[in-house]
A and B are shown apart, each in its own frame.
Chain A
Amino acid sequence: MARPIKQRKILSPYSEVSFFPGGKNNSDADSVLFLAEEFEAIKLIDYEGLNQSKAAKLMKISRPTFTRIYKRARIKLSTSLVEKRTLKLSGKNIYYSGNWQKCLVCECIYNIVNKSNKEGCPLCNSYNFVNIANPN
């Protein structure tokens, strides 16, 4: 039996789940499924300007695995741009760095600084939240 896929570490959660070309929303079948690990790879390399070995260390995966993820991410990104297809983010096999919660009322995402202090959402003061530290 093949070894199960190792979970990838994501530094900060993302608030959006989809990107639409020109406001056009394609059907689910037409959209490109962009994994959270691919989003993180593009962010670390192209946005933050890190090199691949440093980015791989941050995601707690090997450098060759990171290269494969990054290559896959670029193919999906270019497919979405050229074919004008919706880019849909999906969070599989990931875990977030730190203790993150999502408010179900205002939908903001926040981290817990003081674990002993049980405070509500910093935006709407609601106690209706879910823990998203490990969304799998």
Chain B
Amino acid sequence: MKVITIKKDNKNSPLEECFGKAKFFCFVHEDSCKIEFVQNPGKDLIKHSGKKAVEFLHSKGATSVMSGNYGITVKKMLDRYKIQTVIIPTKYKNLFQILRKLNHNLS
């Protein structure tokens, strides 16, 4: 399962640059070709929001995360859990563009 960090829970949502501070995650289930919007449980935390988010994604079975920037602790945790880190260039403005790149069924 691939995870994309976003600001709103819809397909036209802008992407979130900072992994831990993302309001929502978009789960892309490659097997069933379905997408799912899930709230980040650590979004309102002042400290360790990234840590909470990684633990949550690990429990959900994420294999790859896509965001703009990762903190030191987050990067270490992702490596430990063997979750692939993807840095998306800023030329991709919203989730729709990413899903199109992933050749995902948007219907």
A107 contacts the other chain (CB 8 A): yes
Contacts of B79 on A, CB cut-off 8 Å? 98, 111, 113
Question: In the complex, how many residues of chain B place their beta carbon closer than 8 angstroms to a beta carbon of chain A?
Answer: 24
**Chain B, Cβ-Cβ closest to A50:** B72
In the complex, which of the residues A15, A98, A112, A113 contacts B89, with contact meaning CB atoms closer than 8 Å?
A15
Contacts of B82 on A, CB cut-off 8 Å? 113-114
1/0 contact trace for B63-90 toward A, CB 8 Å? 0101011111001000100111111111
Q: Are A123 and B72 in contact (CB under 8 A)?
A: no
**Chain B, Cβ-Cβ closest to A123:** B101
B18–chain A nearest beta-carbon distance, Å:
10
Contacts of A123 on B, CB cut-off 8 Å? 66, 86, 88, 98, 101-102
Contacts of A110 on B, CB cut-off 8 Å? 64, 84-87
**Chain A, Cβ-Cβ closest to B70:** A12
